[in-house]
Amino acid sequence: MQVSYTAKQLEIQPLLAAANINPESFLATDYLNHFNEIVMLLEMIPDMPELMEDAADWAPKSYPQHFNDSGFQAKDLAIEAYALAPSSFRDEFENLCGKINASIQATLQGLKAVNIVERGVSPAAQALIRQRIEDMQNLLLQLNQVIHGKYEEQRTETYSEPSSEEVQSQEDIDKLFD
């Protein structure tokens, strides 16, 4: 995809690669750490339900918030570059982040609701958790491609909230853990 950069984008572009920020997309892979940590915790929960207490502390963070809270050396540049990112990359990036956040939050809410720390995790629940993790990892791969400037406009649809038919009822979730 051919991107036309503004004068301001062209001005900071030479600084980006040295700061580990993609000079095409203006995005940094460091943001993936925000998601990778929770996905790793979720992967361990079927075998160690007590990790749910740590996972429950996770909350979505915007790209600027992540960098403000991080030890990333070029955090100010990362935040500035994000604000200047070509909309074709930033829009796809935000779309995928919305999908990942929704998936993580739905998984955590379901796990909290059935109190897996005390009840344990049934084989059916383990399979559901593993499927959701696989879905999250696929979205993270797509997000990584966008960050690296491998954007394909037709690849993903715009994020929308799941319909009531797509959301599992509490009764359905409880059945998995009994």
Query: What's the pLDDT at 159?
Result: 43
Residue 12 lies in a domain: yes
Residue 1 lies in a domain: no
| Closest C-alpha to 130, from 34, 31, 47, 32 | 47
Print the domain residue range for 115: 7-177
Q: Residue 8 — φ and ψ, nearest 5°?
A: -65, -40
Q: What is the pTM of this model?
A: 0.82
CA-CA-CA-CA dihedral for 54, 56, 60, 66, to nearest 10: -20
Q: Has residue 116 been placed in a domain?
A: yes
In a domain, 52, yes or no: yes
In a domain, 2, yes or no: no
The pLDDT score that the predictor gives to residue 173 is: 53
User: What was the pLDDT predicted at 82?
Assistant: 98
DSSP three-state, residue 150: coil
Q: What is the pLDDT of residue 1?
A: 65
Question: Is 91 part of any domain?
Answer: yes
Closest CA to 40 of 29, 55, 30, 28: 55
pLDDT score at 152 = 65
Q: Is residue 61 part of a domain?
A: yes
pLDDT at 157: 45
- Give the total number of structural domains in the chain: 1
Domain for residue 125, yes or no?
Answer: yes
Q: What is the pLDDT along the chain (178 residues), one digit of tens a residue?
A: 678 999 999 999 999 999 999 999 999 999 999 999 999 999 999 888 889 889 999 999 999 999 999 999 999 999 999 999 999 999 999 999 999 999 999 999 888 777 666 677 777 778 888 899 999 999 999 999 999 998 665 444 444 444 444 445 555 555 554 4
